[in-house]
């Protein structure tokens, strides 16, 4: 079930309407700790300060083509948020939740991709952000486990 309350808060925080496809900026991803001590928003200002990493990857639930993705490393995101480097709960707009272990984002260059093939992508295109593993460079990152962690339509990150 959608978190209706949450979307209302989002609307309140967002400046523009979400009519346009390029509504990604209106839905910044929130990074918070589970006890609520830290709350951090990945606004476009924040994003512009973070260094972007790009690589090729195949995205799950697509036609299998290799795409070029780019975005900040998740560990940089967590660092920037000021939260401790613990396990993450990734949440998506469709209600999907999955645990991303700290070892994954510490040891692997898994990114929060904001651009696919150089372009931002809309909610309909499973934006605003997609967790992507560099599975072309490291084929062992293909497979169901990592696919289940390659969350699209990212809405929130909770740090445990």
Partner 1 sequence: MSKVKNAAALRRSLFLVGAIALVTLSFATFHEVVKLQQGVDQPLYYSSRLEETGRMAREAGELFDYAEQYARGSDQYSYDDVILALDIFWSRVNSINTRSYTEAFGDKDIDSVLIPELAKALPSFDDAVRSLKSGEITSYEPLYDLKVRFSERLGKLAEFAWSRRTQMQTQLAVTNLNILSRIQHIQFGFVAIIVLFLSYVVSQLLITRRLNIKLHNLVEEKSTLLLTDPLTQIANRDGFEKYVNQLSAFEKPDFSIVLMDLDGFKEVNDALGHSVGDRLLKDVAYILSSQSAGEGLACRFGGDEFALVVPGALNAAEACAEHIRARVEALTLGQEYPIRFSISAGICHWSSLSGDCSIDEILSCADFSLYSAKEMGKNRIVIFQASMQEQYASRKLIHSLLPVAIAEQKIDVHFQPIVDLTKGRAIFALEALIRWNISEGHPIETKKLIEVAETNGQIKALTCLVLRRALRLSKRLHENNLTLNIAVNFSALLLSDPNLASEMTAILEEERVEETNIVLELSKYEEMEGNSVSNRNLIALSKMGFNFSIDDFGCTSSNIRTLLAVEDIRFKLAEEIVRDVVISNTARELLRGLVSFISAFDAMIVAGGVDQEEQAQIVQEVGIRYAQGDCFYSALSEDAAFDLVTNQ
> Which one of residues 30, 91, 126, 149 is an interface residue with partner 1 (CB under 8 A)?
126
Contact call for residue 140 and partner 1 (CB under 8 A): no
Q: Which stretch, 36-44, 54-62, 69-77, 100-108, contacts partner 1 (CB under 8 A)?
A: 54-62
3-state secondary structure of 124: coil
Contact call for residue 148 and partner 1 (CB under 8 A): yes
Contact call for residue 143 and partner 1 (CB under 8 A): yes
Buried/exposed 30-61: b ≥16 CB within 10 Å, e otherwise: bbbbeeeeeebebeeebbeebebbebebbbbe
> Which one of residues 74, 78, 123, 157 is an interface residue with partner 1 (CB under 8 A)?
123
Residue 65 C-beta: closest distance to partner 1, Å: 11
Q: Distance between CA atoms of 148 and 39, rounded to whole angstroms?
A: 25
Contact call for residue 43 and partner 1 (CB under 8 A): no
Contact call for residue 118 and partner 1 (CB under 8 A): no
Which residues neighbour 56 within 8 Å (Cβ) at sequence distance 6 or greater? 66, 67, 68, 69, 134, 136, 137
> Which one of residues 15, 35, 64, 118 is an interface residue with partner 1 (CB under 8 A)?
64
Contact call for residue 153 and partner 1 (CB under 8 A): yes
Residues that contact partner 1, how many (by CB under 8 A): 26
Residue 17 C-beta: closest distance to partner 1, Å: 7
Give the number of other CB atoms < 10 A from CB of residue 106: 12
DSSP per-residue codes, 66-117: EEEEEEEBHHHHHHHHT--S--EEEEETTS-EEEE-HHHHHHS--EEE-EET
Q: Residues in the site for partner 1, rule: CB under 8 A?
A: 2, 4, 7-8, 11, 17-19, 60-64, 93-95, 122-126, 143-144, 148, 152-153
């Amino acid at each position: 079930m959608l978190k209706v309350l949450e979307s209302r808060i989002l609307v309140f925080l967002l400046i523009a309407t979400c009519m346009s496809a390029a509504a990604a900026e209106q839905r910044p991803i929130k990074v918070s700790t589970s006890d609520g001590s830290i709350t951090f928003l990945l606004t476009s200002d924040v994003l512009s300060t973070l260094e972007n990493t790009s690589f090729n990857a195949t995205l799950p639930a697509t036609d299998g083509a290799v795409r070029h993705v780019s975005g900040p490393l998740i560990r940089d995101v967590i660092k920037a948020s000021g939260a401790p480097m613990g396990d993450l709960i990734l949440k998506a707009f469709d209600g999907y939740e999955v645990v991303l272990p700290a070892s994954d984002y510490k040891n692997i260059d898994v990114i929060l991709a904001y651009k696919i093939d150089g372009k931002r992508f809309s909610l309909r295109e499973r934006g605003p952000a997609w967790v992507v593993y560099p599975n072309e460079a490291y084929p062992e990152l293909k497979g169901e486990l990592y696919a289940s962690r390659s969350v699209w339509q990212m809405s929130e990150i909770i740090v445990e």
